[in-house]
Structure 1
Amino acid sequence: MKYLIHILLILVFTSGAFGQRYMDTNDPNDEEVKSLLSTKNDLNAFGAADLKVGDFKGERGLLVGAYGGFIINRRYLFGVAGYGLVTKVEFEGVVPGATEPKNLNLHGGYGGVLIGGTIAHKELVHISIPIVLGAGSLEVVDKDFFLNNPADSEFTIENSVFFVAEPGIELEFNITKYFRLGAGMTYRYISGTELENVKDEDVSGTTAMISFRFGRF
């Protein structure tokens, strides 16, 4: 997994070489050092919404999220992102003090810093590489814990925070000058969960995604 992240990071910061031809003026009077955050760079804001489908504890789940930030030189993405599990993920687990397993529910979400880039951004169909690095939380809930209170019967059995790294790759389509539609896959790597009913590998894995991105591209 760490090798995949390294490869994608390299692709992000070298995508400019594939996106447009480098022009060297050979001007001896031009002594300006080129830098990513130079004031002469083209800087535009963007926002996006994502739908992601993947497996959590052996059950198919839907993540809904959003991200936004800035596009530098129409290639590099910097911003923040956040996602939440919106569908019911039910599994058989253990409740402290109980003698038999029960049906429990998993709730959670994550967010963090978004970095990324595009390859051949001027083309109708091009490649986008988003990477999310951050943290999240998970809750294991017994929805029938308080049987004598039908209005609010849920009880959180256990919860934990975790680290997340999620690199992805998608094909992106230029629908208009201000709207792009993407479809691809990510790998969600989760580490550091401290739960009796859920392990890191239960919530790590690949997801299919659809992205709706708005901005000045």
Structure 2
Amino acid sequence: MMKSSNLIVMLLAMMCMAANTYAQDNKETKTLLGGKKVKPFRKINYLGLYVAPEIQYAGLAGGFTPMGGVSAMLQINKKWGVGGVAYTSFEDYTPTKLSSGKAYTFDAQFGGLKLEYTAKPNALVHVSFPLIIGAGMAKIDSVSKKEGRDMFGENDQKGEGMHFEGNKRGRRDDGEDNLFYVIQPGIHLEMNVIKYAKVYLGTSYRIAAGKSDAASTNPLLIPTSSQMNGFAVHAGIKVGLFDFNIRKKKVTPEN
């Protein structure tokens, strides 16, 4: 009897505490589905807009080569970023994995949607986590074939570079046939230099999927998704406006 009465008293005490907490908070339970939904961007205080030119030392076709890129981003509450990005390799990359004599060049481009989360953006040095979801193209060409084209990319009169390699459609291999899906997560170490500029160093890993539709009698000229995979080390600078306060009240002059 004593134990049951003690239990009742404890339950009443817990109910009183819960009622008191509810009276002080007076907020409904937040759930993802039903009730009061969670809205991570329900209160946007800051907006930003910036561009970020970048250089990568990227893994492609079993080797590493420089790539240039640029992204344009909208930033929300200093932490969340969304925008677009594009990268391209330089045309003189001749990976030894394709030919020990460097007889083939490998050109690649990729880009797409870029998402980014920045932790503690007000700190002098902080970390951000970019994620790229998009597509990429790759093209393998022979060095002699490329040398046989003029400055406008056309074949010269000697016919050098007219290298169809058994293409089913009667034309040479083109990057449009070599489209792959790409996802690239990464991590950046950033530093606030001035109010309108940041510099960063980082690393990432690119994952590609898909299969080339190009046709050639020489299998070395058909890019594969595995050749688009690879680690990258990159450095860049962000220039723009990062913390525009959209809720700042305007001061009206007194009469």
1:37 to partner: Cα distance: 4.3
Matches within 5 A, 1:1-217: 28=26, 35-38=39-42, 40-86=44-90, 88-91=92-95, 93=98, 103-145=103-145, 149=148, 151=150, 152=155, 153-154=160-161, 157=173, 159=175, 160-194=178-212, 196-197=219-220, 198-217=223-242
1:60 to partner: Cα distance: 2.0
Question: Sequence identity, in percent?
Answer: 21
1:126 to partner: Cα distance: 0.3
The CA distance in 2 between the partners of 1:202 and 1:64, in whole Å, is 18
Q: Give me the CA root mean square deviation.
A: 2.9
**Residues 26-63 of structure 1: CA deviation (Å, up to 9, x unaligned):** 66489x97634447442221111111102222332111
* Match in the other structure for 2:250: none
The CA distance in 2 between the partners of 1:146 and 1:215, in whole Å, is 39
Kept in 2, the 8 Å contact 1:59–1:89? The answer is: no
Runs ≥4 residues deviating over 6 A? none
The CA distance in 1 between the partners of 2:39 and 2:45, in whole Å, is 9
Distance 1:38 1:157, change over 3 A: same
Letter of the structure 2 residue corresponding to residue 200 of structure 1 = S
The CA distance in 1 between the partners of 2:40 and 2:65, in whole Å, is 38
Distance 1:37 1:179, change over 3 A: same
Distance 1:102 1:167, change over 3 A: closer
Kept in 2, the 8 Å contact 1:140–1:158? The answer is: no
The CA distance in 1 between the partners of 2:66 and 2:53, in whole Å, is 13
| Structure 2 alignment gaps of length 5 or more | 1-23, 29-35, 164-171, 243-255
1:107 to partner: Cα distance: 1.0
The CA distance in 1 between the partners of 2:102 and 2:56, in whole Å, is 28
**Residues 157-210 of structure 1: CA deviation (Å, up to 9, x unaligned):** 454000000000011000011100000100011111426333322221111010
* Helix, strand or coil at the partner of 1:89: coil
TM-score (norm 1): 0.74
Between 82-91 and 61-70, report the one with greater CA deviation. 82-91
* Match in the other structure for 2:20: none
* Match in the other structure for 1:3: none
**Residues 65-113 of structure 1: CA deviation (Å, up to 9, x unaligned):** 010121100000111111001252214659xxxxxx9811111201100
Q: How many residues align?
A: 185
